[in-house]
Chains A and B, each alone.
Chain A
């Protein structure tokens, strides 16, 4: 896994290391995401999956290694700059702007591309009026794609859990990303909501021409939609492959269930 970008890979992480004091949360982590793929990142609790996400989005700085996005180094950039380059994410524990309306949640994602400056808005120039109207219309159209237009005026914290997830994914997509990172999107969902979520992920992938990297614990989601899996344990990659291959990989079974479990499961 050398760090040479063949041009097909949208994201390449090369030998990334993150140390919290003496603890190596992520150790020599390599990852390649071909454009347009739907990859899963799985592993037991504390394996360093979310840390890897945070390294990609720049929320925490790398200790060493490099992250390349569309052929450019993005490690060392501020998180907001990473987002503006086209990487959006959702969070493990939903982080909506809870006291704002669903519409505002989406409109905030448009901020970087609002098209008018603070000066325009203070003086209420034509540019402000025009772009603000466009922005609102765009946000409403966007919400209607997700069938959220009826609750556009609703305060985010009053929504049921499944819908909050939907809004969060919609908000992340409003940033116009080409790479979407989903951190445990199915956490806390009931089976029906999980099915809806899987449909949604398939739908947005096609509609917005996305590459998706997803952390998930729910095996039915992982096995159901991921094309390729990377398994982490103790900050290291222990296996890679298609869901089928991973299911029968002894190292993975060992990491999840303990030593010896692999043999009995296989027999």
Chain B
């Protein structure tokens, strides 16, 4: 029975890896109906498997689903980090901090909502939207006045955001009492207390959490990214520690009673369904892929390859680094929000900077500069560590699963010795490959050569 279970788990994991690659392959097809069919099919297969139950036996147990959701959130965080580290060459440990920020931010919105308080949504929503406008506005002004030093620019942005934040809090305290009657009482729930409203609020909270993480990363990255690579790494480590410390003291220093500091935040509605996880996974994959397969993406690579040459090619190196950092953090924030609403419980301990090495390991493991490799490594990592090793070692005794933290570093060591460039190196596959460009290159080359031959013939 036990061995059968283990074998079943392995089969399921392999099937899931095959699934994610099917998804990438299908999305990489040319026609729009092929892409849509792939999406429907990829979603449907897992949904069907989740629904399949024969008596007490669920084909896809809660444990398996947990692995899937963890793999998806880890994929998001790691994709963002690969953009920052693998593609732009900025070694960052802050990714885990933005993941935590996203998780807590969205959790606070929905937690308040389920308790009949719209202030979280209003304050964060207004703050994020107005904040973005303020940043763009200040940016425009600074551009007009040339040669403003980075630190002064940072101060302007900071003041703008603080002012916007205060305004958002004030507006929130005005507007949220107006919404209170719409929630109704527990006996007679109003329109805002309906499950549909909660789903909508969840969707908004995920977007806002991502945007909030992005704005924080902008403010943090602006001064810090001007440091050299190693110093930037240390600064990001500091950021991760600050975030964790703030989360531990969230009820005292930050004054969010519902976050309950180090004891952990309970009672977050578990809204993350398979549909939501899938939708956001696809959104993240599309954003990242479209980013790297664009002129901006090429500029990002140029910055990684050689900053001085990139500058000489007319690339705004500082701006490009900041852009990659902000987009990467946005994605991490979304991942955090999905995670929070899947777990229903958040503890600051899970956002410790030590855990922040996990996405880093995944990115290096999958191959710096290969998004396909990152996805493979994220799925493989969760399945191997949390799935396979846990069950396998579970056979040996109740304490034995802890030994997986001894076994996986060994596996890591071996892989790094055998393949230092990571699982896939810089090879991309399916959706992430620049298939169209390559084909066009071949065609255009043919045309150029034909023209040359003609000229020679004349």
Q: Contacting chain B: which of A17-25, A77-85, A249-257? A: A77-85
Bound CA–CA A109/B299 (angstroms): 9
What's the tally of chain B residues with a CB closer than 8 Å to chain A?
37
Q: 1/0 per residue A130-146: CB within 8 Å of B?
A: 00110111001100100
Q: 1/0 per residue B282-307: CB within 8 Å of A?
A: 00001100110111111101100110
Tell me the minimal C-beta distance from B132 to chain A in angstroms.
Answer: 13
Which residues of A123-158 are within 8 A (CB) of B? 123-124, 128, 132-133, 135-137, 140-141, 144, 149-150, 152-153
Tell me the minimal C-beta distance from B225 to chain A in angstroms.
Answer: 15
> Judging by beta carbons under 8 Å apart, are B311 and A59 in contact?
yes
> Judging by beta carbons under 8 Å apart, are A149 and B445 in contact?
yes
Kindly report which residue of chain B lies nearest to residue A88, judged by CB atoms: B312
> Judging by beta carbons under 8 Å apart, are B295 and A136 in contact?
no
> Judging by beta carbons under 8 Å apart, are A79 and B312 in contact?
yes
Check if B309 is an interface residue, CB within 8 A of chain A: yes
Main secondary structure of the interface of B (DSSP, over half): helix
Q: Contacting chain B: which of A3-11, A99-107, A187-195, A202-210? A: A99-107
**Residues of chain A within 8 A of B295, CB atoms compared:** 107, 110-111, 114, 116, 121, 132, 135
> Judging by beta carbons under 8 Å apart, are A118 and B305 in contact?
no
**Residues of chain A within 8 A of B444, CB atoms compared:** 136-137, 140
> Judging by beta carbons under 8 Å apart, are A144 and B294 in contact?
no
> Judging by beta carbons under 8 Å apart, are B314 and A83 in contact?
yes
Bound CA–CA A89/B294 (angstroms): 24
Bound CA–CA A98/B302 (angstroms): 9
> Judging by beta carbons under 8 Å apart, are B314 and A175 in contact?
yes
> Judging by beta carbons under 8 Å apart, are A118 and B294 in contact?
yes
Check if A112 is an interface residue, CB within 8 A of chain B: yes
Check if A171 is an interface residue, CB within 8 A of chain B: yes
Bound CA–CA A132/B306 (angstroms): 23
Q: 1/0 per residue A56-81: CB within 8 Å of B?
A: 01010000000000000000101110
**Residues of chain A within 8 A of B437, CB atoms compared:** 132, 136
> Judging by beta carbons under 8 Å apart, are B448 and A144 in contact?
yes
Knowing A104-B301, A108-B302 are in contact, say whether A118-B291 is a contact too (CB < 8 A): yes
Check if B179 is an interface residue, CB within 8 A of chain A: no
Q: Contacting chain A: which of B17-25, B233-241, B315-323? A: B315-323
**Residues of chain B within 8 A of A114, CB atoms compared:** 295
Tell me the minimal C-beta distance from B315 to chain A in angstroms.
Answer: 6
A118 in complex: contacting residue of B147, B296, B315, B445, CB < 8 Å: B296
Check if A234 is an interface residue, CB within 8 A of chain B: no
Check if B65 is an interface residue, CB within 8 A of chain A: no
Bound CA–CA A109/B311 (angstroms): 10
**Residues of chain A within 8 A of B252, CB atoms compared:** none
Bound CA–CA A80/B314 (angstroms): 4
Knowing A80-B315, A118-B291, A122-B291 are in contact, say whether A100-B309 is a contact too (CB < 8 A): no
- Across the A-B interface, the 4 shortest Cβ-Cβ residue pairs: A121-B294, A114-B295, A83-B314, A97-B305
Q: Which residue numbers of A lie inside 8 Å of B, CB to CB? A: 57, 59, 76, 78-80, 83-84, 88-89, 91, 95-100, 103-104, 107-112, 114, 116, 118, 121-124, 128, 132-133, 135-137, 140-141, 144, 149-150, 152-153, 171-172, 175
Q: Which residue numbers of B lie inside 8 Å of A, CB to CB? A: 146-147, 286-287, 290-291, 293-299, 301-302, 305-306, 308-317, 323, 426, 437, 440-441, 444-445, 448-449, 452
Give me 20 other A-B pairs in contact (C-beta within 8 A), A97-B309, A100-B301, A122-B286 excluded: A57-B312, A59-B311, A80-B313, A80-B315, A80-B317, A96-B306, A97-B302, A100-B305, A108-B301, A108-B302, A111-B295, A111-B298, A112-B315, A116-B295, A118-B294, A132-B294, A136-B437, A149-B445, A152-B441, A153-B441
